[in-house]
Every structure is written in C-alpha cells, then in structure tokens.
Amino acid sequence: MEKMWAGRFEKALDKSADDFNSSIHFDKKMYKQDIKGSLEHASMLCSVGILSSDDLDKITNGLLSILDDLNSGALTFDENAEDIHMFVEAELTKRIGDAGKRLHTARSRNDQVALDLRLYMRDETNSIIVLLKKLIGAVLTQAKSNQDAIMPGYTHLQRAQPITFSHHLLAYCMMFMRDITRLKDALARMNYSPLGSCALAGTTYNTNRDIVAEKLGFDGVCMNSIDGVSDRDYCIELESAFATVMMHLSRFSEEIILWSSWEFKFVELDDSYTTGSSIMPQKKNPDMAELVRGKTGRVYGDLMATLTMLKGIPLAYNKDMQEDKEAIFDSVETVAKCLEVFIPMIETMKPIKENMYNAACRGFINATDLADYLTKKGMPFRSAYKIVGTIVGRCVKENITLDKLPLEVYKEYSDVFDTDLYNEISLETCISKRISKGSTGYESVKEQIKYVEEFLK
C-alpha cells in the first residue's frame, strides 16, 4: 500500500523499517475512540463552514459503517497500515472518495493520537474503578462477617497485639478507596482535549476546539498546542496509580499466601482459585495470589518505561512517544486481569476463626494491655513496661502464657497486680477496650464498616 506521505519520497520505505515503524498491531485497540474523535472533528469542521454538509454526511456515514464493520468483524485491520489513524482514513477514502480526503483538514496525527489515547484511557480507567469498587465490596462482606474473629496483629511479622480479622481486612478497603480517588484525581487532570493542537502550532483555519471538547466529554481544551501534543503526564499518573493498586494487591496476596500455608491456616482458599502439583499429591497452591504478586513487577516496569521514554525528548511530538501505548495498555490490562481473578478469590475465601484465635493465644500479644493495666492504676508507663517485659521473659522460659501465670507470681513483681488483671488481659477485653477512633475495638470497626459503605454508595 502506498504511504499517504509518499509524494515527498523517491523510494518506498524498506520492509523492515516499515514493520518497525508500524503501530497498528497495538493501537488498533483505539479504533472506537479514533472514529468517535473523527466524527466530532468533522461535524465541527462543517459547523464552521470548512466542510460542506454533503461531505459531512458522507464522512459520518462512512465512519459509522467502518465502525459497524470493525465491530462485527466484516472489516479486519490491515496490518500493513502504519497506524490506526492512517487505516481508518484510508478505509474511509476507499469507501466515500474525495470527501474522505477532507477529514484531516485542521488536524494532525499528533493531536489525533493524543486525543485517542486520552479517550481510551478514560474509558479503561473508569472500568478499573468499577472493578475496584467490586473488590472493596467483596472485602467488606468478609469484614462484616468476621467482626468476632480475633487474630494476632503483626509488626515485623511477629505477633504484636490482638486485632479482629475484620479490622485487618478493612485496612485493605482504605487502600483500595484511596486507589479510586487517586484514579479520579488523574482523570480530572487529564480531562482536557488536545484536538485542534494540530501538528504543534495550531492552525490557520477558524476551528472551534471548545465544541469538539465538549461533545467528547472534556472539561475544556489543552491551552497550549505544543503541550497538547507532547503531554503524556496523564499516562505517568495513571501508570503510577495502577502501580500503587498492584502494590496493594501484592501485599494482600502475600498475606493470603501466608495465611493459607499450614504454618498459619487462617484461611482456606476455594478449590476453584488454587492449583495442584504435578508430583506432590497433597499440594494446594495459591497460584492466583502468587501471580498477582508476580505481575506487580511488570506494572512497575510500564511506569519506568514511560518515564524513561519521555525524559530526553525535546518538544513537541517525537516518534519515541509511540512507545507510550504498549506500556499503558499492558499496565491497565494487567490490573484488570488481576482484579478479575482477585475479586472472586476473596469472595470464596473461607476464614478459619479457630486457628486465628489459637494463634492469638500464644505470643504474649496481650502484654501491652498488661502494662496499660498497671499504668491505669498509677504506675508510670515505662516502669510498667519494664516489669511486664521481665514477666514475659520468665513466662517464655517456663513455657506458660500470661493468663495462666498465678497471681502470687505477679505479686513478686508488683503489689499493684490483683485478680482483675486476668479479665484485663483476656483477648476479648483487649479488643473491646480499644476505644480510640480507627482502632480494632468492636464499635470502631462498626464505624469503619459504615465509612466504607458510605464510600461505595
């Protein structure tokens, strides 16, 4: 196929260079957005008198028929085309003749691709937000039905203080809620139309960029045409937000992997989200969670690739920028795939409350509460902390837990100890007495559940 720009050249592009240069095998994903943008561009050109209404009719019908045929599969992408923009324009001209050649008036591929990618990423990001809401809903459902499940909370992966499984899960709800607001922030900042920036300098035609922007659902136009065609900040912001989503999913995955091991057995994953081994008959592996954790690296890589691609290029458009698409497509598709498998994995996960409770009984996780007991009776916290530390040391040696240590022994360390200490350090008390906002206390957890529910409304 002859290139649109062939007039300037004496020789055709070498086949290897042509293949190297072509982006249609990945930018064909944006055909709907490309056609949508062209429809609005054409109708604007007509409204300001640049296109006749006869040409507009032909262009509109032609573009809509291409859209239908691509949707139905009646038309397939010509992999020899340079990119999706050239493909659609060539197909249009094939179908409607000269009117098709008028479409590209007062437009360049530079502003066209900038527009298409914004439209495409806006759609994709909104789908990710829907998935994140579903995920929060799934985690919240588990949180609601596990408000009484006491487990050890950890720091340094060492048992630290008693918490409820519900409280722990709600921490993930907070992360995914921030992910949504982060994506919405990025969407708001990128919602300006680059179309009409043309190659870089704007145009001599009397176009109306604002109408096109409004029709395409933008909040306005990019105010500097050079920036309009060379800005890819939104790719970086979205990739960064996606990388953060993956980091959250990866931390959650790591915990699920630990929890489903025999060493913890806090949860049992459903058979439909686990795999077996080719040699070890007993194995049930958390492959989905491991893959999510593993795929996090490539989403980080996509962000790095885009940042690095942009760092050295002068204004305005450079072909380097064609590399923006594969990275951001991979980023958003990976996040979507991970969420699609993660959500049902969470929905079907069965918590084993008994094992959580047994783990909470060992490890002296009520030691802080014992120190607080002495402090509330008037002892300075540091002194109480030291006494309890000494008692824990003794218990470790004697292989006994704090709740089993007789009162006489406690009295050896301080007269302040009395029989009420045993109630103070029971795991249920440790939870119910946590009254600070955001804490693991039963009431606080109920408040957090409401907070998440409000967010989802």
Contacting range for ligand ARG; rule: CB under 6 A; set: 34-42, 201-209, 319-327, 389-397: 319-327
- The token pair at 21 is 């240069």
Q: Which is nearer to ligand ARG, 23 or 244 (CB)?
A: 23
Residues 238-267 that bind ligand ARG (CB under 6 A): none
C-beta of 129: minimal distance to ligand ARG in Å?
A: 26
In DSSP terms, 153 is beta-bridged to 161
41 included as an active-site residue: no
Orientation angle between helical segments 53-72 and 31-47, nearest 10 degrees: 170
CA atoms within 13 A on the CB side of 266: 21
CB of 63 to ligand ARG, least distance (A): 18
Provide, rounded to whole angstroms, the least separation between the CB of residue 88 and ligand ARG.
12
d(CA 142, CA 256): 14
- Residue 14 CB, nearest distance to ligand ARG (Å)? 17
Whether a cis peptide bond, with omega within 30° of 0, leads into 241 is no
d(CA 385, CA 396): 16
Q: Classify 9 as helix, strand or coil.
A: coil
Q: Give the three-class secondary structure for 447.
A: helix
DSSP H/E element including 119 = helix 109-144
The residue from 72, 156, 278, 436 that is catalytic is 156
Nearer to ligand ARG (CB atom), residue 108 or residue 334 = 108
Q: Which is nearer to ligand ARG, 66 or 309 (CB)?
A: 309
Cα(174)–Cα(179) distance, integer angstroms: 9
Helix ranges (DSSP H) in 53-97: 53-72, 84-96
Q: In this complex, which beta carbon is closest to ligand ARG, that of residue 5 or of residue 381?
A: 5
What's the closest the beta carbon of residue 228 comes to ligand ARG, in angstroms?
13
- Judged by CB under 6 A, the residue of 30, 35, 96, 113 near ligand ARG is 113
Only one of the segments 109-117, 151-159, 357-365, 428-436 lies at the binding site for ligand ARG (rule: CB under 6 A); that segment is 109-117
Task: Kindly give, in sequence order, each residue whose CB lies less than 8 Å from that of residue 391, ignoring residues fewer than 6 positions away.
Answer: 370, 402, 405, 409, 410, 413
State the Cα–Cα distance between residues 132 and 136, nearest whole angstrom: 6
Residue from 53, 277, 383, 432 carrying the catalytic annotation: 277
C-beta closer to ligand ARG: residue 203 or 274: 203
DSSP state of 8: G
Near ligand ARG in 398-417, by CB under 6 A:
none
Minimal distance, residue 220 CB to ligand ARG, in Å: 23
* Radius of gyration over every alpha carbon of the chain, rounded to an integer in angstroms: 31
**Of 276-284, 302-310, 318-326, 422-430, which part binds ligand ARG (CB under 6 A)?**
318-326
Closer Cβ to ligand ARG, 285 or 322, answer by number = 322
Q: Can you tell me whether residue 268 is helix, strand or coil?
A: strand
Sign of the CA dihedral running 4, 5, 8, 12? negative
Interface with ligand ARG by CB under 6 A: which range of 141-149, 216-224, 317-325, 402-410? 317-325
Total residues contacting ligand ARG by CB under 6 A comes to 10
- DSSP E strands: which ranges in 128-261? 150-155, 158-164, 192-193, 220-221
CA distances from 203 to 115, 197, 239, 244, 309 (A): 16, 7, 32, 40, 28
Q: Which of 120, 252, 317, 373 is close enough to bind ligand ARG by CB under 6 A?
A: 317
Residue with Cβ nearer ligand ARG (38 or 448)? 38
Pattern of binders to ligand ARG over 122-161, x per CB under 6 A?
----------------------------------------
C-beta of 326 vs 453, nearer to ligand ARG:
326
Check residue 83 for interaction with ligand ARG (CB under 6 A): yes
Rounded Cα distance between 30 and 125, Å, is 14
Q: Which of residues 26-45 bind ligand ARG (CB under 6 A)?
A: 27
Candidate list 107, 109, 232, 434; residue touching ligand ARG; CB under 6 A = 109
Q: Which of 38, 93, 110, 146 binds ligand ARG (CB under 6 A)?
A: 110
CA distance 444 to 373: 21
Catalytic residues: 156, 277
Q: Which residues of the shown chain bind ligand ARG in the complex (CB under 6 A)? A: 23, 27, 83, 109-110, 113, 317, 319, 321-322
